[in-house]
A and B are shown apart, each in its own frame.
Chain A
Amino acid sequence: MFADELKTLRRLGVRHVLLQVLNFTSVLASGLMIWKGLGLLTNTESPIVVVLSGSMEPAFYRGDLLFLTNPTDQRYQVGDITVYKIPGADIPIVHRVLETHDFVSKNKGLVAAAPVVDKQLLLTKGDNNHIDDIELYQGLEWLERKHIVGKVRGFLPYIGYVTIAMNDFPQLKYALLGGLGLLALVQRE
């Protein structure tokens, strides 16, 4: 099936093969750089996440895509939907902020440089859960700002199922990557 392409590749030489491999790897590299750039612009390590559980229904269902930002100049407020990660847990959790406790600086006569300099403690709860998240905090009493990955700004329904499918069936991921690679190697721009 690929005999013609292989013959062409052998005839065209090293530089050509290098160019074709470059085509493929530069697609991957640009995807990676777009992801990292987006993370830098939104100030969060994963600007786009997929909802895995049903704990935020009817707002978010399993398979929804969420867009996050982590603004440095705003405090989190009751009602914000945040994604947080507890150190020691593998997956981040998306729940709503139930309570916030803001610490005001004790130094009289000094003004805080930014709203976020003063510490903020948060308690969260999933909309579809009966109890708040204390059990999930693995010993902590409150969430701190450093545990928060970001705040949800927007969402797209159903798109996340592609990622869920690729995680549950890794063969799909490799097949897709392999197919993309083959296409990039034999096609010329």
Chain B
Amino acid sequence: MAPRTRKSAASSSPATDTNGDAPPSLPPQDDTGAVVDVDALLAPAPGEEREEVKVNNASATDMKHACDDALKRYLSRPDLFKQIHTHTDVRLALGWLSVLVAGATGLYGWRVPFEQSKPGVWAGVIVYIILTVAQTLYAYFVEGDIVFVGKRKTFDKRIVTERITVTSRTTPSTPTSPPGYSLGLAYVRSAAGGKTLLGKGRAEEARPYTDFFDERGVMDQVRLERWIASIVSRVMDGKAQ
């Protein structure tokens, strides 16, 4: 899209359209001096094939999951971030290990007569309890509300690593407002394997679910992506604090 020239506030052409993703005339610069055209990177691809996403718009959980999935799909685009699956992998590993321990204990208790099997079954139950407690503590303290962790490496003069962590919550509805989707972003840009901090940014914003879902429950993915793009570009432009 051609950059919009900014007219003075007094005159406004009736043909000005109000969509917000046209890049400003000057792309932002980071402190390495290179020009990073973040907004062009983040603009949703216009002709992209999208599957229709339809959820039950009475369930805030379903809507949150749909927004989270759209966010992950959007941020995992080839030229944007690469998702780091550590939290999911830890959860899967602990979970499947506990299921295997439970299965093995059950099988052992079934095959061996009760009195003989008691020490083995005690061991199995205790290991299972430890694994379940570990899973719960990890999910509560370490993972929390995080839905996406992404990394990006770019080369200009030196290897620049960017890392973004996205958390999302549902803000409860009040008598005057519908339930909302609250997104929190934490962004770090570093070089030389994480030793030099180039930039850091943090943002949090909430929008009601009614902005993204219509009365049938169909999600307006382009609108969601534009909103995410605006927050991400704001966060990525931040200088080192």
Residue B92 CB within 8 A of the other chain: yes
Knowing A29-B99, A29-B103, A36-B125, say if A22 contacts B92 (CB, 8 Å).
yes
Q: Is the CB of B125 within 8 A of A40?
A: yes
User: Could you say which residues of chain B place their CB within 8 Å of the CB of A32?
Assistant: 102-103, 105-106
User: Could you say which residues of chain B place their CB within 8 Å of the CB of A29?
Assistant: 98-99, 102-103, 128
Number of A residues contacting the other chain (C-beta, 8 Å)? 21
User: Could you say which residues of chain B place their CB within 8 Å of the CB of A30?
Assistant: 102, 132
Residue B227 CB within 8 A of the other chain: no
User: Quick one: which of A11, A15, A40 contacts B118, CB cutoff 8 A?
Assistant: A40
Residue B88 CB within 8 A of the other chain: yes
**Chain B residue, CB-CB nearest to A146:** B115
- Tell me the dominant secondary structure on chain B's binding face: helix
**A44–B117 alpha-carbon span in the complex (Å):** 12
Query: Chain A 157-189 against B: per-residue CB contact (8 Å), 1 yes, 0 no?
Result: 000000000000000000000000000000010
Q: Is the CB of B125 within 8 A of A37?
A: yes
Query: Which range holds the interface residue count of chain B?
Result: 20 to 34
Knowing A25-B99, A33-B102, A36-B106, say if A188 contacts B91 (CB, 8 Å).
no
**A12–B76 alpha-carbon span in the complex (Å):** 12
A:13-66 near B, CB below 8 Å: 15, 18-19, 22, 25-26, 29-30, 32-33, 36-37, 39-40, 44-45
User: Could you say which residues of chain B place their CB within 8 Å of the CB of A26?
Assistant: 95, 98-99
Q: Is the CB of A19 within 8 A of B88?
A: yes
Residue B49 CB within 8 A of the other chain: no
B:61-94 near A, CB below 8 Å: 61, 65, 69, 85, 88-89, 91-92
Closest CB of chain B to A49's CB: distance in Å? 14
Closest CB of chain A to B108's CB: distance in Å? 10
User: Quick one: which of B51, B54, B105 contacts A36, CB cutoff 8 A?
Assistant: B105
- Ordered by A's residue number, 6 sampled pairs between the chains whose C-beta atoms are within 8 Å are A4-B54, A11-B51, A22-B99, A26-B95, A32-B102, A36-B106
Residue A106 CB within 8 A of the other chain: no
Residue A130 CB within 8 A of the other chain: no
Residue A7 CB within 8 A of the other chain: yes
**A15–B114 alpha-carbon span in the complex (Å):** 38
Residue B44 CB within 8 A of the other chain: no
User: Could you say which residues of chain A place their CB within 8 Å of the CB of B118?
Assistant: 40
User: Quick one: which of B89, B95, B121, B124 contacts A22, CB cutoff 8 A?
Assistant: B95
**A18–B85 alpha-carbon span in the complex (Å):** 13
Ordered nearest first, which 4 A-B pairs have the shortest CB separation? A29-B102, A45-B114, A22-B95, A29-B99
Q: Is the CB of B92 within 8 A of A36?
A: no
**A33–B118 alpha-carbon span in the complex (Å):** 13
Given contacts A18-B96, A32-B102, A33-B124, 5 further A-B contacts (CB under 8 A): A7-B51, A11-B51, A19-B91, A22-B92, A32-B106
User: Could you say which residues of chain B place their CB within 8 Å of the CB of A25?
Assistant: 99
Q: For B98, B99, B118, B124, which residue has the most chain A Cβ atoms within 10 angstroms?
A: B99
